[in-house]
Chains A and B, each alone.
Chain A
Amino acid sequence: MALIELKHVVGGYSSVPILNGVDIAIEQSDIGVIVGPNGAGKSTTLKAIFGLLKVTGGTIEFGGENIANSLPDKLVPKGLSFVPQEKNVFTSLSVEENLEMGAFTRKDDYAQTMAWVYEMFPVLAEKRRQPAGELSGGQRQMVAMGRALMSKPSLLMLDEPSAGLSPRYVIEIFETIVRVNKEGVGILMVEQNARQALAFASKGFVLASGRNRFTGTGAELIADPEVAKSFLGG
């Protein structure tokens, strides 16, 4: 059974639907990448999973349970986590407090998880007392991911994690994602750095006009000339 499965999801901000039937399935071991033209509904798909807009049709199953239209404070304890593209750290809180906020829904002791996050991002351990607003773009992205990992999610969703990062950080971030995935966290992310992302993705989804246009492994999509021409910039 898939970790998360979207079946023909329809939804939008007002009465006009933005998603017209999106199908996505991800296993815990997968790295899924959503690509597509601007305005295709990629971010909207992630928001729909996370209960940030109204889903009017289809089902979203997570661990076998329909979670359509549940709110984040219900979803996070179930094992979902989301890193928005922008404004994804609490700038006035220290790095450590940022991580704590990620563990807000947990009732148990999260010291171990925090140690794990620091182990994965050693630079954060150094700066644990510093306000996150004083960090560089790449470091912030790590804080954001660390925050999302603090709830011990089984699925981590990321919206364009590499946007605006210099090539070196892009590499770092992608490496981190691969590492996190190896620790047993399913990944679903949206990327415009599509070629690079699909290169290590186990599943790829091409969305256009709120619908799936192509689905396959990352390698398949890169190899598909039609996909490459229309969506990956030739």
Chain B
Amino acid sequence: MSFDAVIDVRNVSKRFGGLTAVNNCSLSVQRGSITGLIGPNGAGKSTLFNIVAGNIVPDSGQVLFDGQDVTGLAPHQLFRQGMLRTFQIAHEFSNMTALENLMMVPGDQPGESLVDSWLRPRLVKARETEVRKKALDVIDFLKLGHVRNELAGNLSGGQKKLLELGRTMMVDAKVVLLDEVAAGVNKTLLHDLAANIERMNKELGYTFFVIEHDMDLIGRLCDPVIVMAQGEKIAEGPMSEIRANAAIVEAYFGSPVEAD
């Protein structure tokens, strides 16, 4: 079935002490899709992301990226192969400005090699100008222009999340993993962001793999949606189908709150 799966997770398990966070889980993400991943708190979604992105080595099982076994590869190696992720809890570089946070993302900057930075200053400078321009564009899009010179550690919770998202726009990636980018982000801005994600998917061919608790967003963007619970995949399909599944609705959505 995984003919055109860009990410293929096969029988992956991960335990923390006595707790099995991911339990023999298999799933795949099709090239060019925006795949959603939902499930109750503690279902193991972020752990699965960590495994796919190389931040955690699974106890057993395999992860295939573009048809190749990448289990156990370091995050920076996966980045080089075109995988980019965001973090649920913002991982900003707190002592660097917002702009610098974005400028450090592009790979293969000649200035990052000691020899080049000593001996080929002109090349370094040319690339640096390019990177800065790109970063400024992204920052404006995220409406963070006025805080671009602020230390990232001093940004508000939501602004950090936006920065987290901004990183994915700094490079051309094959696959982007988004871990709850919407949490804490203002809804109006979120509309623009969603539109941009759709655009990147359609026009630039990015594949997105999205963890989200915001059902409106999932409903608008994602097809298919994968449901995880207790470390296992329990369902997959379009949102409408998921909503129709009584068990999931009971376990995951609950009943709407009464107005006072």
Contacts and interface: CB of A to CB of B under 8 A. Distances in A.
B202 interface: no
B90 to A, nearest CB: 10
Interface residues of B, number: 39
Interface in A7-50: 13, 31, 36-40, 42-44
Interface string B129-141: 0000000000000
A180 interface: no
B41 A165 contact: yes
B122 interface: no
B113 interface: no
A200 B256 contact: no
A175 interface: yes
Contacts of B180: 164
Contact of A166 (B188, B191, B252, B258): B252
A202 B259 CA distance: 10
Interface string A187-220: 0000010111001101000000000000000000
Contacts of B89: 86
B166 interface: no
A200 B254 contact: no
Contact of B158 (A39, A164, A165, A169): A39
B154 A192 contact: no
Interface string B36-53: 001111100000000000
Contacts of A138: 41
Interface stretch (A58-66, A102-110, A225-233): A225-233
Contacts of B258: 175, 200
B41 A38 contact: no
A174 interface: yes
Contacts of A170: 213, 257
A231 B156 contact: no
A37 B159 CA distance: 10
A167 B186 contact: no
B189 interface: yes
Interface in A130-183: 136-138, 160, 163-172, 174-175, 178
A138 B40 CA distance: 10
A162 to B, nearest CB: 9
A166 B88 CA distance: 14
A229 B39 CA distance: 29
B184 interface: yes
Nearest to A232: B187
B42 A137 contact: yes
B252 A36 contact: no
Contact of B259 (A13, A43, A194, A200): A200
Contact of B186 (A136, A200, A231): A231
Nearest to A201: B260
A136 B159 contact: no
Contact of A168 (B158, B184, B185, B253): B253
Contact of B162 (A38, A192, A233): A38
B252 A168 contact: yes
Interface string B82-97: 0000001100000000
Given A137-B41, A137-B42, A164-B180, A85 B157 contact: yes
B156 A169 contact: no
B183 interface: yes
**Which of A86, A164, A178 has the largest count of B CB atoms less than 10 A from its CB?**
A164
A180 to B, nearest CB: 13
A167 B184 contact: no
Nearest to A202: B260
Contacts of B185: 38, 192
A166 B37 CA distance: 12
B64 interface: no
Q: Of residues A38, A39, A192, which shows the largest number of chain B Cβ atoms within 10 Å of its Cβ?
A: A38
B155 interface: yes
B257 A192 contact: no
B190 interface: yes
Nearest to A86: B89
B257 A200 contact: yes
8 contacts: A13-B154, A38-B156, A85-B157, A160-B184, A164-B88, A200-B258, A233-B190, A234-B191
Given A166-B252, A168-B252, 19 more contacts: A37-B188, A38-B157, A38-B159, A38-B162, A39-B156, A42-B156, A44-B156, A86-B89, A86-B157, A160-B184, A165-B41, A165-B213, A168-B253, A170-B213, A174-B257, A192-B186, A200-B258, A233-B186, A233-B190
